[in-house]
Amino acid sequence: MKYKGITYSYVVYAFTFFLAPLLLILFYSLTASDGGSVSFTLENFTRFFDFSNPQYMKVLGNSFRIAGIATLLCLLLGYPMAYILASLKPRLRAFLSLLFILPMWMNFLLRTYAWMSLLETNGIINTLLSKLGLPALQIMYTEKAVILGMVYNFLPFMILPIYNTLIKLDPSLLNASDDLGASPWQTFTRVTLPLSKPAILSGINMVFMPSVTTFVISRLLGGSSTALIGDIIEKQFKLVDDKGFGSAMSVIIMIFVFGLVALTREKDSEEVSL
């Protein structure tokens, strides 16, 4: 009876906070309201995939491109950081890892506002450049500012899974590679890197998914020049009051993201089986 009670509680919790909102979004995406009457339709999806006017598909493609660049930069920065952290002494390692986690304790919006004060025309960075006699940089309200904001906010999501995997690697494997005459680079490419691939894929998913759907970063740092799919969805709910079309775009994004997750998991499973 005890375990049944826990199971029922979990089912109620999952339905209330996960399944019910998804079903509601799906319902809105498949319906249209006309004078108080509700009818089922696929118009919201066909409107998005209108090849005669592919404005929404272009925004989606641009969102995937920018999110992909941000994810790649997070990987290029995050893996070396995680590798260095894992090779340090435990006390220093714990202190530095805390420094990476510390910004995540601050509100997401405040972190983005902080970057606005750094990047704007009269911000801290341009003020320092002017004192050094260097030309000012026009970064605010550009694609570069959006990517920079994504990398800053989501970099810990790349570092942490890789770091947690690297510190748990069996030292005997690395010692065996060294005993067999492998160079440090060969040990890294043939032992460390393959064993950390699941963590890399996990980090990619954890960075790419919020990067695609974000709207706060693109709105504050990119302005109207860099509108992502998250901005379009927000406008459908807040400004246009078109819940059906906004929900349809949300469903489309979820399908693409679930497909990416399934693809990475299948690739990871194939490598493990080999």
Per residue in 143-154, is it b (16+ CB within 10 Å) or e — as a string?
bbbbbbbbbbbb
Bridge partners of 32, per DSSP, are: 39
Please check whether residue 245 lies inside any domain of the structure: yes
Does pLDDT of 224 surpass 80? no
48, 161, 198, 251 from 166: Cα distances, Å:
43, 9, 11, 36
Are 83 and 188 in the same domain? yes
| Band (274; pLDDT cuts 50, 70, 90) | very low
Please check whether residue 46 lies inside any domain of the structure: no
Are 144 and 177 in the same domain? yes
| Band (48; pLDDT cuts 50, 70, 90) | very high
* CATH number of the domain where residue 167 is located: 1.10.3720.10
d(CA 18, CA 237): 20
User: Total structural domains in the chain?
Assistant: 2
Summarised one tens digit per residue, pLDDT across range 134-175 is 888 888 888 999 999 999 999 999 999 999 999 998 888 888
| Band (49; pLDDT cuts 50, 70, 90) | very high
Are 180 and 144 in the same domain? yes
Does pLDDT of 191 surpass 50? yes
Please check whether residue 200 lies inside any domain of the structure: yes
Structural domain of 143: 51-273
User: Residue 96: in which H helix or E strand, if any?
Assistant: helix 90-101
CA neighbor of 83 nearest in space, from 97, 73, 103: 97
